[in-house]
Structure 1
């Protein structure tokens, strides 16, 4: 979904709101696995649940596109992952999120639904 809500025109607005409710972990994709940057724990796509996602288009340049994934892992780690999508996407990151089983993707944690 493209965000049009007044309170969240920027990715950082949503990141701050999710951090307040416990989504504090930061991640990186390395060699096809999601890595918790604090604990160094690694996860396969099957270990990850996407509980919300928010897509953005750049305010001044619509080709500046990003997506914020709100994720939970099988170990209980919860956090966000912000990445570009479209022509500027990181292919390794895109492949990782594409490999997450559909059954692990929902909008159950979307703060816009509460």
Structure 2
């Protein structure tokens, strides 16, 4: 994977969607919810298989993180969140509560040789 072509969140989202990570998630009331199936997930139900961090080109304090997610119900998708000064503290706490055993980088497109 040539990361030259994937400098922005939207580029990575499109690449992961092409690999089957098509579910969209939103956060409400300490729960990650699938926009399509309406399934609700607690931190223990989420597996982060890759993540990508970004700094704003014009403002380095504009930071975001793209999580590549698989769930215990076999949904695969992405979740984009601010981090650093722009972080939503409730979302950050949710992702901090995902068990360490559920976090890997095994599906990171920058590490996979195809």
Would you say same fold, with TM above 0.5? Answer: yes
Q: Select 1:103's aligned residue among 90, 101, 114.
A: 101
- SS in structure 1 of the partner of residue 110 of structure 2: helix
- List gaps (5 residues or longer) in structure 2: none
Structure 1: runs of 5+ lacking an equivalent: none
> Post-superposition shift, 1:8?
1.2
What's the CA shift for 1:9? 1.1
**Under a length normalisation based on structure 2, what TM-score does the superposition of the two structures give?**
0.94
Count of residues paired in the alignment? 110
Distance 2:75 2:108 in 1: 17
Distance in 1, matches of 2:6 and 2:83, equals 19
> Cα distance, 1:72 vs. partner?
0.2
CA RMSD of aligned residues (A): 0.6
Could you report, residue by residue, the CA deviation over 1:9-33 in whole angstroms, capped at 9, with x for unpaired residues? Answer: 1100000000000000000111111
2:68 is paired with a residue of what secondary structure? strand
State the alpha-carbon separation in 2 of the partners of residues 47 and 86 from structure 1: 25
- Measured in 2, the distance between the counterparts of 1:111 and 1:98 equals 23
Provide the rounded CA distance (Å) in 2 between the counterparts of 1:90 and 1:24.
23
Residue matched to 2:61:
63
> Aligned to 2:90, what secondary structure does the other structure show?
helix
Partner of 2:86: 88
Deviation beyond 2 Å, 4+ runs, structure 1: none
Shift of 1:92: 1.2
Distance in 1 of aligned mates of 2:46 and 2:7: 27
Deviation at 1:7, TM superposition (A): 1.2
- Contact 1:29 1:96 survives alignment (8 Å): no
